[in-house]
C-alpha cells in the first residue's frame, strides 16, 4: 500500500494540516442547523474557497467537508440516502483545489463520529457502525482522496469500527481522538490506551493524534502523552482548537489568536508531533502563522507541562456550568 504521508514526511520533517472547515463555512454564510455537507453540491465554490485559503497558507493536507457525512449523522437532516453523493462531491471539490496547488497537497477524507452511543450502553451495534463508516469511506475514495482521516473520536469501540470500515478501501488511515483535561476522552480513554489500541488493530492507522478538545494547552498535554505511549517512530498528529471555546450570545467564540497558535505549533513540533494543524476556530491566518513559526523557530527539547502552561495558559480549564457542559457535548456530536 502506498503511504503518501510517510512519503511526504521523508522529504519534510513536519507536515501541516488545515484549519477549521466549520468555522470557515460559518464565516461564508452557513447558518446554525444547516447541513455543511450539502454545501459540497449546493455551494462547492465556497467550500473550494476554504480549501484554497488553507493551501495558500501552507497546508500540506486538506480535509474534505465530510465530517458529518456518515449515514447516522446525515439522518439528522434526512439525508442518509445521499451518503455516496455528498462524500464524493466533498472529495472532488478538495481534489480539484489540491491538484491546482503550487506544492504537493494531500486530500484526506474527513470522517467524524456517528453521534450515537454504541452497544451495550447504546443502541448502535459494532457491525452497524462499521458499515456506516465503510460506506462513507468508499464514497470518499471514489471522489479521489489520498487517505482517510478519522477524527474527534472518544470511544475505543467506535475507533475500532471506524478503522475497520475505512480499512476496506485499502487507503492509508489517520485517526485522532478528542481528549479533555488530564488526557482523557469524554468516554474516559487515556492517551496510553488509545495508542495501544491503535497499534494493535488489524490495520493500524499510519498516524494517531489528538484534535479539538478544550484548548492548545490541553491538546499539547495529550500530544506529549501519545508520543510517550506510541514511541519515537510513531507519526503523531496535533490539531488543536484556537484557544478556549466560549459561549457568547448563543455562539461559540475562540480566544486563540494566530500568534498564540504559532506558539502552539512550535511547541507541538518540539513535543514530537509530525503533523500539525488546527481544529475549531482556526482560520487560514492561524495556519499561516503556524507554518512560519515552525519554519523559523529553532527546534528545542520536548516542553514540560509547566512550559506549555506558561506559553499557552493553564492546563486545567475553567469549570463549565451544567448548561455549558451540555452545549459542549452537543457541539461534539453535531
The domain spanning residue 139 has which CATH number? 3.20.20.330
- What are residue 8's DSSP bridge partners? none
Residues 72, 136: Cα–Cα separation, whole Å: 11
Residues 74, 140: Cα–Cα separation, whole Å: 15
Give me the helices (H) in the chain, please: 4-9, 21-27, 39-42, 44-57, 71-74, 83-99, 126-143, 156-167, 191-200, 216-230, 258-271, 284-296, 305-312, 322-333
Residues 328, 334: Cα–Cα separation, whole Å: 10
Nearest to 140 by CA among 79, 67, 89: 89
Residues 156, 185: Cα–Cα separation, whole Å: 10
Nearest to 137 by CA among 82, 37, 66: 66
Nearest to 19 by CA among 325, 334, 184, 262: 262
Strands 251-254 and 61-63, by their bridges, are unpaired
The ranges of the chain with pLDDT < 70 are 1, 249-251, 317-334
Looking at residue 330, its pLDDT comes to 43
Residues 67, 162: Cα–Cα separation, whole Å: 13
What is the 3-state secondary structure of 218-232?
HHHHHHHHHHHHHCC
Please give the backbone phi and psi of residue 231, each rounded to the nearest 5 degrees, phi first.
95, 165
Q: 491538484: which residue's cell?
A: 99
Residues 67, 90: Cα–Cα separation, whole Å: 10
Q: 480549501: which residue's cell?
A: 51
Looking at residue 315, its pLDDT comes to 86
CA-to-CA dists, residue 306 to 49, 250, 287, 302, 315, angstroms? 39, 34, 25, 12, 9
- What are residue 277's DSSP bridge partners? 239
- What are residue 276's DSSP bridge partners? 16, 238
Looking at residue 249, its pLDDT comes to 67
Per-residue pLDDT tens over the stretch 169-180: 999 999 999 998
Domain limits at 228? 4-333
Residues 279, 282: Cα–Cα separation, whole Å: 6
Residues 210, 1: Cα–Cα separation, whole Å: 25
Per-residue pLDDT tens over the stretch 177-193: 999 877 799 999 999 99
Domain count, the chain: 1
C-alpha cell at 83: 451518503
Amino acid at each position: 500500500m502506498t503511504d503518501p504521508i510517510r512519503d511526504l514526511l521523508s522529504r519534510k520533517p513536519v507536515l501541516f494540516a488545515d484549519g477549521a472547515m466549520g468555522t470557515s463555512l460559518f464565516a461564508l454564510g452557513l447558518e446554525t442547523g444547516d447541513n455543511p455537507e450539502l454545501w459540497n453540491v449546493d455551494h462547492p465554490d465556497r467550500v473550494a474557497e476554504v480549501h484554497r485559503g488553507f493551501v495558500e497558507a501552507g497546508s500540506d493536507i486538506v480535509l474534505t467537508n465530510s465530517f458529518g457525512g456518515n449515514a447516522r449523522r446525515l439522518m439528522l437532516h434526512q439525508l442518509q440516502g445521499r451518503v455516496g453523493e455528498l462524500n464524493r462531491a466533498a472529495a472532488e471539490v478538495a481534489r480539484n483545489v489540491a491538484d491546482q496547488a503550487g506544492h504537493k497537497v494531500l486530500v484526506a477524507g474527513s470522517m467524524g463520529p456517528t453521534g450515537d452511543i454504541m452497544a451495550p450502553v447504546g443502541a448502535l451495534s459494532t457491525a452497524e457502525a462499521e458499515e456506516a463508516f465503510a460506506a462513507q469511506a468508499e464514497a470518499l475514495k471514489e471522489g479521489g482522496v489520498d487517505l482517510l482521516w478519522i477524527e474527534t473520536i472518544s470511544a475505543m469501540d467506535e475507533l475500532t469500527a471506524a478503522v475497520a470500515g475505512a480499512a476496506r478501501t485499502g487507503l492509508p488511515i489517520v485517526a485522532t481522538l478528542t481528549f479533555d483535561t488530564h488526557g482523557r476522552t469524554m468516554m474516559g480513554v487515556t492517551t496510553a490506551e488509545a495508542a495501544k489500541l491503535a497499534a494493535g488493530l488489524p490495520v493500524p492507522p499510519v498516524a494517531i493524534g489528538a484534535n479539538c478538545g478544550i484548548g492548545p494547552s490541553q491538546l499539547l498535554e495529550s500530544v506529549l502523552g501519545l508520543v510517550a505511549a506510541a514511541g519515537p517512530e510513531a507519526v503523531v498528529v496535533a490539531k488543536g482548537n484556537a484557544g478556549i471555546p466560549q459561549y457568547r450570545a448563543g455562539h461559540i467564540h475562540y480566544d486563540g489568536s494566530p500568534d498564540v497558535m504559532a506558539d502552539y505549533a512550535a511547541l507541538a513540533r518540539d513535543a514530537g508531533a509530525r503533523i500539525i494543524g488546527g481544529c475549531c476556530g482556526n482560520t487560514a491566518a492561524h495556519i499561516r502563522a503556524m507554518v512560519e513559526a515552525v519554519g523559523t523557530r529553532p527546534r528545542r527539547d520536548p516542553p514540560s507541562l509547566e512550559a506549555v502552561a506558561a506559553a499557552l495558559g493553564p492546563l486545567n480549564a475553567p469549570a463549565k456550568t451544567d448548561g455549558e457542559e451540555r452545549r459542549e457535548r452537543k457541539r461534539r456530536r453535531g
